[in-house]
């Protein structure tokens, strides 16, 4: 596991796509968990303070004590941590904007079987900005070519699958999103561009250090699958600071 930052109070890693953050009774057949891997790697117990969806890669922050975990969790709950993601989406995103669209909580059939299914939608706000666009000579669906955009996403709130659901709401689903996205585009990306993963990456995390109060900015590079798409689309120069294969 690639460590992005570590001191005596906290640790940040570049979570690989497809890894679960921690083990639960629902995942008894799984073998790859970030928390257990990092614990074994540094020989110290770690505490979660936020989550990344299993198919999402990028910056994952963990505390090295329960006290620091509480402080960091409060920062996330109070929206004092700035999270920046990048995504490849279907179609041309011509201008930036803000999506203010309340979301009903998504419940897991097993993990949330005792939860109230009738909860109303909760406020959810995301900011987006297009960075690059491309038209590829590949027929996916009814058109002879396929159009894609690279976008920067900044969630203001933290609802489950918020960015994925918000991009579907404005008709630009994130490529590789099997739960909410465009199945034909997902298959096309895997077939023509050798990328079967969700194209959503947590690139940057900015916060005040929970002990010193000093500004902390942590960044995570793209993996090989991301960089393969960036190279094929001619986008490697758009965000050069994120170029760098991290996972063999």
Strand 200-208, strand 57-63: pairing: parallel
Residue with the two structure tokens 């299993």: 54
User: Is residue 53 flagged as an active site residue?
Assistant: yes
Question: Which entry of 40, 53, 223, 237 is annotated as an active-site residue?
Answer: 53
At a CB cut-off of 8 Å and minimum separation 6, what does 237 contact? none
Distance CA 67, CA 93 (A): 42
Listed residue (110, 101, 134) closest to 234, CA to CA: 134
Residue 56 DSSP SS3: coil
Distance CA 202, CA 72 (A): 17
Burial (CB count within 10 angstroms: exposed 0-12, middle 13-18, buried 19+), residue 125: middle
Which residues are the active-site residues?
Answer: 53
């Amino acid at each position: 596991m690639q460590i992005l930052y570590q001191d005596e109070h906290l640790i940040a890693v570049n979570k690989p796509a497809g890894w679960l953050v921690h083990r639960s009774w629902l995942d008894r057949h799984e073998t790859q968990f970030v928390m257990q891997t990092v614990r074994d790697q540094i020989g110290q117990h770690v505490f979660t303070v936020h989550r990344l969806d299993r198919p999402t890669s990028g910056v994952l922050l963990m505390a090295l004590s329960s006290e620091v975990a509480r402080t960091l969790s409060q920062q996330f709950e109070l929206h004092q941590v700035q999270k920046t993601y990048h995504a490849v989406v279907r179609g041309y995103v011509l201008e930036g904007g803000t999506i203010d669209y309340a979301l009903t909580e998504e419940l897991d059939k097993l993990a949330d079987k005792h939860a109230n299914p009738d909860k109303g939608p909760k406020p959810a706000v995301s900011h987006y900005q297009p960075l690059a666009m491309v038209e590829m000579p590949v027929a996916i669906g009814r058109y002879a070519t396929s159009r894609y955009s690279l976008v920067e996403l900044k969630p203001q709130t933290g609802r489950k699958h918020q960015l994925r659901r918000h991009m579907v709401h404005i008709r630009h689903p994130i490529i590789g999103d099997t739960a909410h996205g465009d199945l034909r585009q997902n298959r096309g990306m895997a077939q023509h561009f050798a990328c079967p993963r969700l194209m959503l990456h947590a690139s940057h995390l900015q916060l005040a250090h929970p002990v010193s109060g000093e500004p902390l900015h942590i960044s995570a590079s793209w993996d090989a699958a991301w960089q393969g798409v960036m190279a094929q689309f001619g986008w490697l120069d758009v965000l050069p600071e994120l170029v760098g294969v991290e996972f063999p």
